[in-house]
Amino acid sequence: MSRPLFDTFERRTLPPVRFQPTETHCNFARLYITMGAQNIKKCRDERNAILVIVKDVSYARGENRLRCNVIISKPFGELRELDTIGFPELQDARYWTRVAFLDKMALDLKVGPKFFDKYLRTPFKVSEYDKEKITLQQHDAFLAALNLRQGNSSPEGLSIWQRLVAEANRVKVPIESFESLGKPIQVDAEGFFKRVFHVPGDDKYVVQNFKEISEGTLETRIKEAVCCL
């Protein structure tokens, strides 16, 4: 676990989102993992997927009681593979990426041993959530504890994407996926930070795809998206 992520767990509240982050006010950090590279890519690329980072895990099998601290986050940017051949002493990390913090809380729940063994026994592993590992009642309680039930979200808990969608809806700008356009998209121009696409035969759509989002470019990308609205 990176130091900034560890320090975020120790804070009483999440740092606010700032367009000029500093070392003490940063809303994102590096996350190191050993397994689950494809799962973290899937979480990054799927619009509504989130990553739940867990720390201070305590599980009583006799009571099926799980207690832990969690940070709800969203991966972004490139997933980088570490040089484990040149540095064989790297046993707790194989990959790293950046995650933006969305919410933070403590959990005290009833879950069965199958849930604990799959998701919490192996540290630094990213697994896709499967509600079949717990009962329906436990699943509902789990989502409620994470404030993921519909109607429970606050503006502070929404992802950057969701907030952009809300702003786009407010100014009546449609949000559409590549697939919904139903036409081939080809690159018209490509720069260091983004690609510009155009739908052949239809001048209503111009698509910008941002590349290599990092601490240094995230602020500019957000501002540009908001300014386009």
How far CA 59 is from CA of 110, 111, 116, 127, 224, in Å, comes to 9, 9, 8, 18, 45
99: left (phi > 0), else alpha (psi -120 to 50), else beta? beta
Average pLDDT over residues 24-41: 84
Residues of the chain with pLDDT > 90, as a percent, come to: 25
SS3 65: strand
User: 197 or 193: which carries more pLDDT confidence?
Assistant: 197
**Which band of pLDDT confidence, cut at 50, 70 and 90, is reported for residue 182?**
low
**Which band of pLDDT confidence, cut at 50, 70 and 90, is reported for residue 156?**
very low
Q: What is the pTM of this model?
A: 0.61
**Which band of pLDDT confidence, cut at 50, 70 and 90, is reported for residue 19?**
very low
User: 166 or 86: which carries more pLDDT confidence?
Assistant: 166
Judged against a pLDDT cut of 60, whether residue 183 lies above it is answered with: no
